[in-house]
Amino acid sequence: MMFNKIMVITNEDIDIRDYSQIFDTISRNYNPRTDTHFSRGPSDVLDHAAPALGYGGKVMFDATIKFPEESGSKNQPESNDSMLALNFTDNPKDLKGKINIITDSNITGQYLSLWTWGSNCDPIRDSYFTGNQLVMDATTKSSGEGIREWPQIAISSMETIQRVDDKWHSLGIGNFIESPSLHFHRK
């Protein structure tokens, strides 16, 4: 987990390339209060969200089917299986998910939201619980304690985007994903 700061653990029958399967298993098997595990450790030196160069927070979500002995005390908060697995929002009061990720208002779409979450969130500094929901702040940060210099968003040139798009299907890396850079070129 050295360079991985956000990890979801599933049972082996889940296709981790299929977001719908991952979101479904989080909805069914994940309880924010008991199945969220934080740690600190080495991180990528390019991770600007880490409070220190090469060292930051990490989070692991246990979305596996639990054995009876893993269910813990009856005093634990109940998990709400009908709640969204992940809720991306720019409104900190719009908490509809088990995991609520607060993004800047210009972030739209699932892929760009996931990318922003991974880029702009230090799991320890930027997370808190409210009831039985986890809230994680993936907004652009300004200077302050534990905040390093925040870079401008790096985007690929239109030429690079086109070259990658032209070869995508020959690479065997799954369904086509539009470049997140296009979102910022359109602005």
- The residue ranges of every structural domain in the chain are 6-142, 152-187
DSSP 8-state code for residue 108: -
Q: What is the C-alpha to C-alpha distance for residues 187 and 172, in angstroms, rounded to an integer?
A: 31
Q: What is the C-alpha to C-alpha distance for residues 118 and 140, in angstroms, rounded to an integer?
A: 12
Q: Which CATH class is domain 6-142?
A: alpha beta
- For residue 19, what are its two tokens? 């977001």
Digit-by-digit pLDDT tens for the chain (187 residues) are: 557 899 999 999 999 989 899 999 999 999 999 999 999 999 988 899 999 999 999 999 999 999 888 876 554 445 566 789 999 999 999 999 999 999 999 898 888 899 899 999 999 999 999 999 999 999 999 877 678 888 888 899 999 999 999 999 999 988 898 898 888 888 7
If we measure between CA atoms, which residue out of 130, 139, 119 comes closest to residue 96? 130
Q: Note the Cα 132 to chain centre separation in Å.
A: 18
